[in-house]
Every structure is written in structure tokens, then in C-alpha cells.
Amino acid sequence: MSLLSVRNLVIDYARTRALDGAGLEVAQGESVGVVGESGSGKSTLGSAVGRLLPRAARRTEGEVLVAGEPVFDLPAARLRHLRRKHLGFVFQDPIGSLDPTMRVGDQLRLVLGRGGDVRFHLGRVRLDDPRVLRAYPHQLSGGMAQRVAIAMAMATSPDLLVADEPTAALDSQVREEVSDVIFTLAAEAGTSILWLSHDLPAVARRCDRVAVMYGGRVVESGPAAQVLGHPAHPYTAALARSAPAAAAHGVRLEPVPGRPPVLTGPSPGCAFAPRCAFAEDRCAHERPAPVRVREQDVLCHKAIELEDRLTAPIEPAPIEPAPIEPAPIEPAPIEPAPNTTEVTA
Ligand SMILES: Nc1ncnc2c1ncn2[C@@H]1O[C@H](COP(=O)(O)OP(=O)(O)OP(=O)(O)O)[C@@H](O)[C@H]1O
Ligand code: NI
């Protein structure tokens, strides 16, 4: 049985459909990277795991099971228990996720309860300076604050840690150290990780499996090396192709010309169709059903047909003879598109 099971999850904000039938399975002890452009629904999915969605959000369809427990249908007490003992969360803004009015040591003690060894837990996140205990969150660097947040999230050795871009706000050097801390602690505790990220190379290095989101659905999932090395969905292929350069410059991913959709209701077909080099008529009108390609689960009408044609980097090569002049390559925009503002980190 999966530790986490997300089934056909539909989440609506007032006018936006953030998840449009998302599905995902995470096994005990496994690390799963969730990737996709801004607005694809990663944070909404991550928050839904603990039913930590903003007030405006509504679960319209589907369910989330954590160790078999239906998160959206649990009585308050059971939900609290699940959050406290079985789930951990780490977010992008570490200082904001700590209580600004309380010393770090006191916050840790509150989480650990009586008998909890505060120094031990700080040591595990490689914070050995006792001054940290007396500090207020705003006196810490981003990297230190994130380590404190990790110590708190991992204190109970949860079954699942949801990490929503935990290193995105940190310097690149600190980023690796903080990622190391998370993955090492999780491996020791047998904790599964759901790692929401824009950083494809990092996900490829660290995660067992990858789930690629587009338009509020998981359009491809499978073993990391398979998904990123031999993508089965045209969107994954485009994303994988664009990743190294984009990630290196800290640019938000913009793999193919055009914008990701902002849905107001169910997508009538494949949400990627307008940007897809391989789209045909039905892609715009029929929602693709999941198909299995090699070790991947894919939502694409053309996945079987494209099986041997998609590689990373892809060549959506024209069948006609090569033109004399090289085709213009659309430059990736340096500025983020206007709809990339963080609504939730
Ligand atoms: N509190 C909110 N109120 C209204 N709409 C929201 C809210 N949070 C997210 N949305 C919308 O839901 C969709 C999914 O957003 P979400 O934050 O889950 O995506 P994301 O993949 O995490 O993006 P990013 O990479 O920018 O963090 C987007 O269209 C977003 O604008
Ligand atoms: Ni997000």
C-alpha cells in the first residue's frame, strides 16, 4: 500500500482551478520530486497532503490518503494527530515559518515536548552553536532558520516530509548543505519525501521518482532517471531539455514558447495541447486517460505513438529536408512572465 495516495484531486480557488484531477502515489521511504512551471499546482498539491490549504480553497473532487486515512474526511482530532505525528512540512521562507516572537530554543522545546533533547536535534541539522537557542528567528540567516525548521519538521520522524522549494530562497552553496541535511535525516528516519521544486537537475540527483505537473495534473511520473532521461510526455521532454541552462541561471523554467494555462474549470482536453508540437485535434477536446509507457505513467493521447521519438533533448525535427537557413530559436525570456508571481510559495 502506498503511504501517500492522491486520487483525481480537484482543488478550486475562487476563480482558479489549481488542481484538475491530480494523481500521485508515494511509497514508504521513497523520495519523489514534483516539478513543473510556476502555477502548475505543486504547492497546492503539497498543502493538500496535510489539508493545509488557504481558506479560499475548496476540494471539489477526489481524495488524499495518508497511510490509508482520508485526509479531507477526517475528524479534527485525527487530522491534528496525523499532522503532528505522521507529516512534516518545510516551506520556502524559513524565517516566516517560525514564530517571530519566540526564541528558537523555546520553539523547539514546544515541538519536542518534555524530555526532548533540543541540542541533539539541532546537532542533527548541523547547527552546533548554542547561541542559536537564544536567538529570535529574524537574527538567523536563511540557511540557519531553514535548518531549525527542518529540525522541527523531522523531530517526530514523520512518515512523510513535504518540502515546498525549501532551498529556493537560499544561496547556492547553502542550498546543497540544506538539501543534504534533509535527505540524510529522511533516509535515517525512513521518512518519505515529497520535494516540490523548479530545480530539475537537483531533483534528478536526489529523488527516486519524479512527478511532472502541468495545468493541475501529474502528466508523467516514474523513476527519476527514466522520466528525465527518456521522457514519455512531450511536456517532460521540453522541460528536461530546457532545464540545465535555466536552472543554472536561477531562471524560472520556460521550456516552450507560450504560457501555461490558468484554468477556471476542468480542462476540456490536454492542457498542454496549445503549446505541444505533436498535438492533434482530439488533444484539445478529449482529456487523456493514463497510459503506461515503459516504467512511466503518462497522460498523453500520443504517448504510445511517440514512445521512441521523444528524447531529452528532443528534436521535434521536421520530416521535410532541412531548410537552408537555420530556423530561428525563440530566446527564453529573462523576465518571468507576469503570472509567475508567488501566490503561495
Ligand atoms: N491562495 C490562492 N488564491 C487563489 N489562487 C491561488 C492561490 N494559491 C494558488 N493559486 C492559483 O492556483 C494555481 C496553482 O498554484 P500553485 O501555487 O499551487 O502552483 P505552483 O506550481 O506551486 O507554482 P510556483 O512554482 O509558482 O510555486 C495558480 O494558478 C495560482 O495562481
Ligand atoms: Ni509553489
- Whole-model pTM: value is 0.87
d(CA 228, CA 241) in angstroms, rounded, equals 9
Q: How far is the CA of 41 from the centre of ligand 2 (A)?
A: 7
Residue 246, pLDDT above cutoff 60:
no
Q: How far, in Å, is the centroid of ligand 1 from the Cα of 267?
A: 16
181-191 per-position pLDDT tens digit: 999 999 999 99
Cα–ligand 1 centroid distance for 199 (angstroms): 18
> How buried is residue 250: exposed, middle or buried, by Cβ count under 10 Å (0-12/13-18/19+)?
exposed
Percent residues over pLDDT 90 in the chain: 74
First-to-last C-alpha distance (Å) of the chain = 30
Atom 31 of ligand 1, nearest CA residue: 39
Lowest mean pLDDT among 125-139, 156-170, 215-229, 248-262: 248-262
Residue bearing cell 525512513: 190
Ligand 1 proximity of 343 Cβ (cutoff 6 Å):
yes
Distances in Å between the alpha carbon of 114 and those of 83, 118, 194? 19, 10, 29
Q: In degrees rounded to 5, what are phi and psi of residue 94?
A: -70, -40
The confidence score (pLDDT) of residue 318 equals 40
Is the shortest distance between the CB of 39 and ligand 1 below 6 Å? yes
Measured torsion, CA atoms of residues 123, 90, 340, 257, in degrees rounded to the nearest 10: 80
Whether 342 lines ligand 1, by a CB cut-off of 6 Å, is yes
Residue 254 has a pLDDT of 53
Distance 328 CA to ligand 2 centre (A): 32
Alpha carbon distances (Å) from 35 to 111, 114, 122, 137, 218: 30, 39, 30, 29, 9
Amino acid at the residue 240: A
* pLDDT tens per residue, range 38-80: 999 999 999 999 999 999 999 999 999 999 999 999 999 999 9
Ligand 1 pocket member 336 (CB < 6 A): no
CA of 41 to the centre of ligand 1 (A): 6
Residue 342 scores a pLDDT above 80: no
Residue in the block written with cell 524565517:
95
Q: Does residue 261 line the site of ligand 1, with CB under 6 A?
A: no
Cis status of the peptide bond prior to 70, with omega within 30 of 0 = no
CATH 1.10.8.420 fits 1-97+156-345, yes or no: no
- Classified as helix, coil or strand, 19 is strand
- Which residue, among 105, 2, 92, 3, has the nearest Cα to 47 in the 3D structure? 92
Domain ranges across the chain: 1-97+156-345
Q: CB-based burial of residue 14 (10 Å sphere; 0-12 exposed, 13-18 middle, 19+ buried)?
A: exposed
CA 86 – ligand 2 centroid, Å: 22
Rounded Cα–Cα distance for residues 305 and 69 (Å): 38
Instruction: Give the Cα separation of 279 and 270 in Å (integer).
Output: 9
Which residue carries 528525465 as its cell?
228
pLDDT of residue 304 exceeding 70, the answer is: yes
Q: What is the number of the ligand closest to the CA of 13?
A: 1
Determine the distance separating the centroid of ligand 1 and the alpha carbon of 13, expressed in angstroms: 9
| Residue written as grid cell 526532548 | 116
Best mutation site among 58, 199, 252, 344 for ligand 1 pocket (most ligand atoms within 8 Å of CB)? 344
Q: What is the mean pLDDT of the chain?
A: 88
Counting ligand 1 atoms within 8 A of each CB, the residue from 43, 45, 251, 339 with the most, and so the one to mutate, is 43
Q: Which three cell numbers stand for residue 179?
A: 538539501
Structural contact between residues 9 and 48, judged by C-beta atoms closer than 8 angstroms:
yes
ipTM of the complex: 0.97
Averaged pLDDT, 264-276: 96
pLDDT(319) > 50: no
